[in-house]
Amino acid sequence: MHTMVFSSFMLFFCNNKGKISSLLYNLCLIMMMYIMIFVDNYFNVYIMNEWLFLNQYSFMFVILTLLILSLMFLSLGNNEFNWSLLMLMLIILLIFVLMCFTTSYFILYYLFFEASMFPIMLLIINWGKKSYLRVESSLYMFMYTFISSLGMFYLMLYLMDLGMLKFFMVNSLSNFDSVCFTIMVWGLLTKMPLYMFHFWLPKAHVWAPVYGSMVLAGIMLKLGGYGMMWFIFMGNNSVNYESTSFIVIFSLYGGLYTSMICMYQIDMKSVVAYSSVVHMSMVISSMMTFSMSGMLGAQIMMIGHGIISSGLFYLVNMNYERTSSRLIVMNKGFMNYMPSLSLWWFLMSMSNISMPFSLNFLGEVLMISSLLNWSIYFIFILMPMMYISSYYMIMLFNVQHGLNNKNMYFFTQCKIKEYIIIIMHWFTGNISFLFIDKIMDF
């Protein structure tokens, strides 16, 4: 952590931008390898100090954070506007997210949870697509996420008055009833997001730069899921399960309706953004079943979705840099120019619809089994949702086909760095299936 803070100040005295981004990329990878070796020796819960800890839930999200941010640092160009300030914002964001995943005090979790939104807002406003709508989208994100979590903040203050300061302590709280659980979860559902609270997400994705979209889809949506896991275990013994059935049903119907919205989107980035809402709706509903398979499937799905959706946003940006448009009709015929890139479009699209042997596949199997154990009638919602999800991802891949695109006046081939970023996204999202027993052990 001290090394990262020192690097952020050194940005202002160094002119070689490529070396700095490579340094931060390698630093994230070194931290990730150190933590993986570290967990082989210390498993279950390891208390680093009074404030920080690693357990079976935070470990995978810390690895995901370091992976996505390392790829994001690698994707940065040398011609970014106000490059030093951009790198400083990204490092601050990295510190906030890592502190959010490793803190043992839930009031600190809330503070870092909210503070991590401000670097994202600055990324959208300063480095987003040049339009006044980028300010509107950042205000949407702030109003939805901050106001919805005020009830959670007041409840945390109430728990602190009772002497419950850490996540571990709240398990012994006898009056953590359904009302407290609903207030606590309310702010997290907007971050994930739940349908009807998702309007900020497509707007933020459309106007954010590519590295902002990679962070939003790969990391920021997982902050709410991580907190949801903790609060479900906090209220597991005192919450009336029937009170959560409304969230389960509403989330599934919202996912079905959002998948239909994806079918008539004309912007490729909007399709990927709305598909995130569909995936998160299944994550929310499966966690609300309070079953072990649902919790494990939700965790695996969040890890897999964070990797694959980040890669899809990067693929969309690769098309945008060559056609100056994200419209589906303006990106037809890419296979005629770059067949190898079309191959990665196919592989990433299939991973997003949970083909074997991806993490999404195992996550969906576990989540569907937990939902069908809750009610067999959910199959009439899950079947059309999965069919429509496959349809709009095939529609997105179909952009690669067609006649020659006359919009490509100045066409440039892909760089090696771009292929490396896509390969690392696909490789980690699929080859991790071989090490799934390690994940399940946690």
**In the structure encoding, which two tokens stand for residue 52, read together?**
């920080």
pLDDT for residue 240: 60
Q: Half-sphere exposure of residue 253, counting CA atoms within 13 Å on the CB side? A: 8
Q: pLDDT band for 82, please (50, 70, 90 cuts).
A: confident
Tens of pLDDT, residue by residue over 16-29, are 455 555 556 556 65
Over the stretch 137-161, which tens digit does the pLDDT of each residue have?
888 888 787 777 777 777 777 777 7
201 phi and psi, to 5 degrees?
A: -70, -50
| Helix, strand, coil abundance in the chain, percent, nearest 5 | 75, 0, 20
- Using CA atoms, how far apart are residues 2 and 20, in angstroms rounded to an integer? 16
pLDDT at 339: 80
pLDDT the model gives residue 5: 39
Q: If you average pLDDT over every residue of the chain, what do you get? A: 77
Q: Residue 91 — left, alpha, or beta (φ > 0 → left; ψ -120 to 50 → alpha)?
A: alpha
pLDDT, tens digit (0-9, with 9 covering 90-100), for 390-412: 888 888 888 777 766 665 655 66
Tokens 């399960």 correspond to 241
Give pLDDT, residue 245: 81
pLDDT at 46: 56
State the pLDDT confidence band at 11, using cuts at 50, 70 and 90.
very low
Local confidence band at 335 (pLDDT 50, 70, 90 cut-offs):
confident
3-state SS, residue 46 = strand
Q: HSE on the CB side for 442, CA within 13 Å?
A: 24
pLDDT digits (tens, 9 = 90+) for 194-210: 888 878 888 888 888 88
pLDDT per residue as tens digits for the range 13-64? 344 455 555 556 556 655 655 555 555 544 455 555 667 777 777 778 888 8
- Quick one: pLDDT at residue 238? 58
Distance CA 281, CA 196 (A): 11
Task: Give me the pLDDT at residue 30, please.
Answer: 58
Cα 193 to Cα 172: distance, rounded to the nearest angstrom: 29
- In whole angstroms, give the CA distance from residue 6 to residue 407: 45
Residue-wise pLDDT for 159-175, tens only, equals: 777 666 666 555 545 55
Q: For tokens 């969230």, what's the residue?
A: 247
- Which of 66-70, 119-123, 126-130 comes out lowest in average pLDDT? 126-130
- The pLDDT tens digits of the residues spanning 234-275 come to 666 556 666 678 888 888 998 899 888 888 888 888 888 888
pLDDT tens-place string over residues 336-382: 777 888 888 888 988 888 888 788 888 898 899 999 988 888 889 89
- Separation CA 208–CA 137 (nearest Å): 9
Tokens found for residue 19: 């070396």
Structure tokens at 216: 């939003």
Q: How far is CA 87 from CA 7, 8, 360, in A?
A: 10, 7, 31
Residue among 181, 197, 178 nearest 189 (CA): 197
If we measure between CA atoms, which residue out of 106, 97, 118 comes closest to residue 152? 106
Residue 8 has pLDDT above 60, yes or no: no
Beta bridge partners of residue 166, listed in sequence order: 105
